[in-house]
């Protein structure tokens, strides 16, 4: 069985002498006797005690500072005060300072042993609680560290995923762009067509005050707008003469084919809508859906004009000599309100110098 340790601080040697034997022999405690608060404090600093029994000078309240100091060293220390007489005001003060209990002369040994045993039980409980709390605190710190590490890993993974997604996105974009350029290059007359359309449409969109994001969507749509021509035979695309009705039917499919090719790329949804609508006319006479006025996306109305202007200003298989700039502008003015949105035409005329 473990021998519990008691620190007995008392300047009355008579009392110490009387209690030495009962405490050490009968009680089986290891008892350290100290005469002064100073000696008691020194012993307390060097050893672990289950209980401290302290006999303060009732007339010297300054000596009660010892309780405070003991509590400062170990806030869980169990202190039993040993008093010469029953004085309520000092007992209340002692409890306020943190004593566990008190005993009054003459000493009732049975009561003293009972108090010591209760005090030891309490001290053990407090120590267990302290270890448990400490364990919890350490566990919490470890958990917090793990949380921080996990958060960092998640952050890193998210960053990597975002980068991968961006890489994938730009790879897709580059691939499609190459494909669109290949379509333009099939016919040497339409070489750089999409690139020029993108340039004109971007100038108009910026002038119309569209947001940077909207302008970018329009620019991407321009690069891809004729992608669907991949589904139209070369003989039709490069035909030097007038097209038959059947051949026109083929040509008119290219906005839908382009949109269908791009459809799986959901991040291009806004772009796809513009590709599908780039041949709609303001008066409803366009294709493939015959949309009218504001029912056609503004981006598509802008691309339609830029596309037509670019086509007029470049040689074509069916028209070797391109329109002059003036003739092309006249043609656009003539078709304002029918093929073209008048508002877009107005802005276009205002930025002609830049184009």
Catalytic annotation, residues: 229
Of 44 and 189, which CB lies nearer to Fe ion in the complex structure? 189
Q: What CA–CA distance (Å, rounded) separates 137 from 1?
A: 31
Q: How far is the CB of 271 from Fe ion (least distance, A)?
A: 14
Closer residue to Fe ion in complex, CB, 101/307 = 307
Do residues 338 and 281 lie in contact, with contact meaning Cβ atoms separated by under 8 Å?
yes
Residue from the set 307, 309, 336, 341 that interacts with Fe ion by CB under 5 A: 307
Q: How many binding residues for Fe ion (CB under 5 A)?
A: 2
Q: How far is the CB of 276 from Fe ion (least distance, A)?
A: 11
Minimum CB separation of residue 152 from Fe ion in Å reads 49
Q: How far is the CB of 194 from Fe ion (least distance, A)?
A: 7
Cα four-point dihedral sign 226, 231, 233, 234:
positive
Residue 47 · residue 4 · CB < 8 Å: no
E-assigned strand segments in the chain: 5-9, 30-34, 51-54, 78-83, 101-104
Taking the least distance from each CB to Fe ion, the nearer of 122 and 236 is 236
Structure tokens at 84: 């010469």
Length of the chain: 355
Q: Phi and psi dihedrals of 281, rounded to 5?
A: -105, 150
Nearer to Fe ion by C-beta: 226 or 341? 226
Single out the segment in contact with Fe ion by CB under 5 A; choices: 66-74, 178-186, 300-308, 322-330: 300-308
Region near Fe ion per CB under 5 A, out of 87-95, 282-290, 299-307, 321-329: 299-307
Least distance to Fe ion, CB of residue 193, Å: 6
Our finding on whether 184 is near Fe ion (CB under 5 A) is: no
Compute how many other C-beta atoms are within 10 angstroms of the C-beta atom of residue 228: 25
* Closer of 307 and 341 to Fe ion (Cβ): 307
Contact 212, 202 (CB under 8 A): no
**Residue 253 φ/ψ region, left for φ over 0, alpha for ψ in the -120 to 50 degree band, beta for the rest:** alpha
Residue 242: both structure tokens together: 């007038």
Separation in Å, CA 176 to CA 57, 111, 191, 278, 320: 95, 94, 16, 18, 29
Angle at alpha carbon of residue 83, lines to 80 and 85, rounded to 5°: 145
**CB nearer Fe ion, residue 50 or residue 226:** 226
Applying the rule CB under 5 A, the residues between 207 and 246 that interact with Fe ion are 226
CB of 162 to Fe ion, least distance (A): 34
Binding site for Fe ion (CB under 5 A): 226, 307
């Amino acid at each position: 069985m473990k021998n519990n340790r008691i620190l007995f601080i008392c300047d009355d040697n008579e009392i110490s002498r009387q209690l030495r034997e009962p405490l050490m022999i009968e009680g089986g405690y290891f008892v350290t006797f100290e005469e002064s608060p100073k000696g008691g404090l020194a012993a307390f600093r060097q050893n672990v005690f289950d209980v401290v029994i302290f006999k303060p000078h009732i007339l010297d309240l300054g000596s009660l500072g010892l309780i405070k100091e003991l509590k400062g060293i170990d806030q869980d220390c169990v202190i039993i005060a040993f008093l010469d007489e029953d004085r309520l005001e000092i007992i209340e003060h002692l409890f306020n300072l943190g004593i566990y209990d008190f005993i009054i002369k003459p000493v009732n040994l049975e009561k003293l042993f009972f108090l010591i045993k209760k005090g030891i039980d309490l001290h053990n409980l407090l120590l267990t609680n302290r270890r448990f709390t400490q364990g919890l605190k350490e566990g919490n710190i470890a958990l917090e560290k793990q949380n921080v590490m996990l958060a960092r890993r998640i952050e890193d993974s998210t960053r990597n995923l975002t980068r991968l997604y961006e890489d994938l996105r730009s790879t897709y974009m580059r691939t499609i762009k190459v494909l669109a350029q290949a379509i333009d290059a099939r016919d040497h007359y339409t070489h750089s067509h999409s690139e020029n359309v993108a340039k004109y449409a971007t100038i108009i969109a910026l002038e119309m005050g569209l947001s940077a994001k909207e302008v970018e969507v329009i620019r991407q749509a321009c690069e891809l707008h004729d992608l669907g021509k991949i589904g139209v035979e070369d003989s039709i695309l490069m035909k030097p003469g007038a097209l038959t009705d059947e051949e026109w039917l083929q040509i008119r499919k290219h906005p839908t084919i382009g949109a269908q090719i791009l459809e799986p790329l959901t991040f291009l949804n806004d772009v796809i809508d513009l590709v599908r609508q780039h041949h709609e006319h303001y008066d409803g006479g366009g294709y493939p859906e015959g949309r009218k006025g504001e029912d056609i996306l503004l981006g598509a109305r802008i691309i339609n004009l830029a596309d037509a202007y670019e086509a007029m200003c470049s040689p074509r298989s069916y028209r070797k000599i391109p329109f002059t700039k003036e003739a092309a502008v006249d043609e656009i003015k003539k078709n304002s309100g029918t093929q073209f949105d008048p508002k877009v035409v107005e802005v276009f005329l205002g930025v002609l110098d830049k184009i």
